Structure 1
Amino acid sequence: MSYSGVAAYRPAVTFEERSWDFQIPDIVRPLATITVCDLAIIARRMGMQWKDFRPVDGILRAEGRGHIITSTLVKSLGLLVQYNYNGPPPHLSIRLPGRYIPLEESDALGFGIITGEGSILEQNPPISTIQEIITTLNLLDQSGWCAVRMKELARRDPGYSIPLADLVSMIMEISRLRGTNLVHVPAPSNNMNGFSVSPYGRRAFWALLEDCVSNGRYHHGPQTEAVLQATRQFINNHPEWAERELDPDNQHSTDYLDLVHDYFDQTSRWYRTIIDFHKINRNFISAYLRFCVFCQNDQNVLVAENSDYEAEMKRYFELWPLILNDMRAQLF
């Protein structure tokens, strides 16, 4: 299998036909072996969801896109895994929705693990549970304030969870194969809301940025102008960026996705030219968490489902002077 502009990817599984017709009945026929790690990842990449994943107890079950994996604990053999397929013919199954980007970073997200950008995280923390989120907050905000705040909110409402989509997008490198139109990654947490994953949120961001630059009230540099030009290009030429939700069948323009990829790489290269950018990066994430996510009135600025993104973005821009002052205080 190969894609235009992408190196050919060889299949991970090869099939060999063997006959046991003349095998002595008393002889146990050998079974294929696989590690639990590989099995977990393969199931994810095939579009399955783990309904039950307790390998220590001998219990495994995954379903999705016509595939089914079950397990049985067999004496003298151990954990025996069975695979069945009851979906459409294989040549049609590739059209089913739910195909994930086949990269290690995407695999990790499926198990609640963020593969962080090196300047922010020296380890890859999990964020699938409240306790894991608190631990990760301690890594991102070394003041400890956000972790304490999270504990308070979780104590008041055990079902509470902060929105993590924008934070994950700030921390991670881009996870995508150039030349493909695959866009789906597994959700690492149960609250993956945020303006960056909504076309309406991105449109609100563009509108506020346009206003800030055009009204002359704020001083801005060439990079802000470059970001504005990029958003204008998306607004004018690619409606999927700010006008409609992502197609569940992954039918996106490869040109559009490659353009997003290009802008990410271009911005990353510029960002790494900044003196002390590692420290600035960490300080920004810390300030963002304290000012934009955890607020004095227990409300999140960039959160909830069906939210008023225009109001949230306005508040976000109002907080920028506080964020910048906080970053300056930490640098000097």
Structure 2
Amino acid sequence: MPTLEANLAGAALAIALVALFTALGQLLQQYFATADGYRRCQTSVMGEYGTRTYLRWRWREFRFETIYTVPEISMVGDGAPNRYEQVLLTGNNITRACSLVPLWSEGSDPSKSLDYRPTYITDMELENRRTQSWLSKGIKPKAFPHRAPGELVCWIPLLHWIHESTKLSLSMLKYKGDVINKPPYQVRLPAVVFRQKSWDFLPPDVVRPLAKSTLSDIAIIARRMGMKWKEFRPSDGTLRAEGHSHIITSTLVRSLGIVLHYTYTGQTQRLLQAQENLSRVPRARSAVFFEQEEIYIPRARADRLGCGVIRSEPRLRLPDFSLSTQSEIVTALVYLDATGKSSAALTRILKGNPEFRFRVGDIVAFTTAPIRFKGSVLVQVPAPSDNVHGVTVSAVARWEFRQCLRDYIAMKPGIEPESDIRRALRICEEIGSQFPAWYAKDEQTAYAEHWVVTRDVEYLDKLQRIIFEMTTTLSAYGRYLELLAAHIRVAMFCEDGETSMTRNWAPDYAADVRGYFKQLPLLIEELSKTGWTESDCVDAWCIMMLRGMCWGASHFFVPGERVPIQYFGSQLPVYIG
């Protein structure tokens, strides 16, 4: 009997304990259920960022608050301020680990799955970086595990491709040492800063954690990744960019602002694979269009060109201006030619033919400092306008310029041997003898290199040294703006010249150069009104033309839509979901 009573008592105790634990579990479940958004901030949604999600107990409210970490993406360096504990997105193993972005295996399609490959950092590498603030604060990189987290927030693959695009551009700069938390001198790079957020502040329409950036920075980053802005109307909440398998679209969320959605389609990789398969088949041809490679110079001056903004060479004492639209070009001509004749002439042309597109390649080459880095092979910059042609970007024009210099000097036997015009001829002949790329005798030869990503570094360094020397010479004259204004007014807007409709649709750069030399007497007459002598006028003009041609030969304009000037440098926050 006592045994039966003990058994009953034990059973009752067990049932009571089960009831107690059940009630306790239900109570804890209710308390944990107060943590809104906690399930949406796990590693299955945020990848490695989910490891930094935790719950904070609010005693006064008797509930849990979800605290999560997201990246704030920005452009830093080369004039843009660095941020405390920032991590650059440079594509190497260190910065990938520190920015919590996995290194995908080669050939994997991120639009379908994320195949993680471990990224290890040795103890020695960590020890060498312990003195840095972001490591001393406990942000210690670790190896990423092998796992497929499934659906992720779209800013995780976006960060991956930012890493990849930056890695390509940096590989062509040939910098020494690891770039981790501070960009090299005069280099602007994307970076992230970790921001802790509370789910309490997210509106009900948001179902995933949002990364943050600014309108200006995301516009630059998208262009560097090879995307073109098909729509850019932040006032309506409409943004759309696409290109090179990347797509960015936008949604306007009430009480929050613009939320971007990024998608990687993988189309470029699949087309390249298909092309490789066709190459193995005899007589197989493909009519599929492949997007040209875009790797831009990672510099603020290049990024500004994507908005049509021109920062002039300080030593030439020229104003800054913008060239994105035809109306902006008219306004720029008012500053470059104070007489107003050039802007009035362009206005008349546009009234007669609104489809006319003024060539701005020469304006950029005559006014700006070199964007390309010394020792780098990279030459691509965004096109600041629809028509970036001009004599300064043409190898045919360079050939004709040398021929015209010879003829002009032959007709003027009294020119001093040490004059700048003879110096310009010697430099042209020297470059042409050393580098065949400087000259092209016909348009067919010139268009053989229709799309350029890189050029010979020795050739580019030579041109850059000449640009520096020519800039020094022009600044010594002290009145460069007068010379440039006269050239625009007299040479560029001459009758039947480059601004004629026939020449606008079918450029003839050799004829343009010959026309410039025919206009030299009128150019001398214009400048003589302000005290220029004939010899100074001809010498300075030849040096200006040579400097512009060296600039055009060391840069390549990549066409594409520009960001409207009113949003240049905008710090309007945008969110990425």
Normalised by the length of structure 1, the TM-score is 0.84
Partner residue, 1:219: 415
How many matched pairs? 317
1:319 aligns with 2:519: yes
Q: Pick from 155, 161, 172: which aligns with 2:351?
A: 155
Q: CA RMSD in A?
A: 3.1
Partner residue, 1:54: 233
1:242 aligns with 2:439: yes
Q: Deviations over 1:256-287 (max 9, x none)?
A: 1111111101111222233xx1xx21111111
Matched residue SS, 1:330: coil
- 1:309 positional shift: 2.8
Partner residue, 1:21: none
- 1:217 positional shift: 4.5
Alignment of 1:1-332 (within 5 A): 1=170, 3-4=173-174, 10=183, 12-14=190-192, 30-87=209-266, 97-118=293-314, 119-122=316-319, 124-217=320-413, 219=415, 221-243=418-440, 244-245=446-447, 246=449, 248-274=451-477, 277=478, 280-296=479-495, 300=499, 304=504, 306-331=506-531
Gap runs ≥5 in structure 2: 1-169, 184-188, 197-203, 273-290, 441-445, 533-577
Cα distance, 1:218–1:242 mapped onto 2, change above 3 Å: farther
Q: Distance in 1 between matches of 2:178 and 2:455?
A: 21
Give me the identity figure in percent. Answer: 32
Answer whether contact 2:401 2:513 (CA < 8 A) is retained: yes
Q: Distance in 2 between matches of 1:179 and 1:298?
A: 37
Larger radius of gyration: 2
For 1:115, give the aligned amino acid: R
Matched residue SS, 1:101: coil
Matched residue SS, 2:229: strand
Cα distance, 1:262–1:130 mapped onto 2, change above 3 Å: same
Q: Deviations over 1:215-265 (max 9, x none)?
A: 545625432222212211222221222234446352311111111111101
- 1:321 positional shift: 2.4
Structure 1 window deviating more from structure 2 (238-247 vs 134-143): it is: 238-247
Q: Which runs of 4+ in 1 moved over 6 A?
A: 5-8
Q: Distance in 2 between matches of 1:70 and 1:296?
A: 46
For 1:318, give the aligned amino acid: K
Greater share of strand: 2
For 1:254, give the aligned amino acid: V
Answer whether contact 1:67 1:83 (CA < 8 A) is retained: yes
Q: Distance in 2 between matches of 1:266 and 1:5?
A: 25
Q: Distance in 2 between matches of 1:215 and 1:113?
A: 41
Partner residue, 1:23: none
Q: Distance in 2 between matches of 1:298 and 1:214?
A: 25
Answer whether contact 2:242 2:248 (CA < 8 A) is retained: yes
For 1:258, give the aligned amino acid: D
Structure 1 window deviating more from structure 2 (217-226 vs 32-41): it is: 217-226
Cα distance, 1:110–1:212 mapped onto 2, change above 3 Å: same
Answer whether contact 1:193 1:305 (CA < 8 A) is retained: no
Matched residue SS, 2:191: coil
Gap runs ≥5 in structure 1: 19-25
- 1:196 positional shift: 1.0
Partner residue, 2:63: none
Q: Distance in 2 between matches of 1:247 and 1:230?
A: 25
Cα distance, 1:135–1:328 mapped onto 2, change above 3 Å: same
Q: Deviations over 1:268-309 (max 9, x none)?
A: 1222233xx1xx211111111111122246863895354333
Q: Deviations over 1:5-57 (max 9, x none)?
A: 678754523598x9xxxxxxx99654211110111111122222111111111
